[in-house]
Structure 1
């Protein structure tokens, strides 16, 4: 997985991000701005997940979209 690809496509992926995590607001997605750690923190906060679970979800999302 290449997170640089995700960052480069972030504007195109904003809709997919909100579809994947329905609880994320436009502001949440804008705040993440393609930064993996910020996205992990936001997902963790919105869904009440442990950090490991949020990281796993973010990595799964990135794997689907970095190809």
Structure 2
């Protein structure tokens, strides 16, 4: 791997849940800006190395809501 992070460090179930949430969000709101959404997705995935799933989902939805409020996304 490029960063020397083996893929088995990531929990496959957590990654699947995060990807489904991101695809649903992107599919339901197609007018959101891709750059800000991509950065939010990357940060959320890398946080999954350190935090439990509930905190990751909370971070994702709170950040997404704040981005929508500030009209970043």
**When the two structures are superposed, what TM-score results if normalisation uses the length of structure 1?**
0.39
Q: Which is richer in helix?
A: 1
Bigger Rg, which one: 2
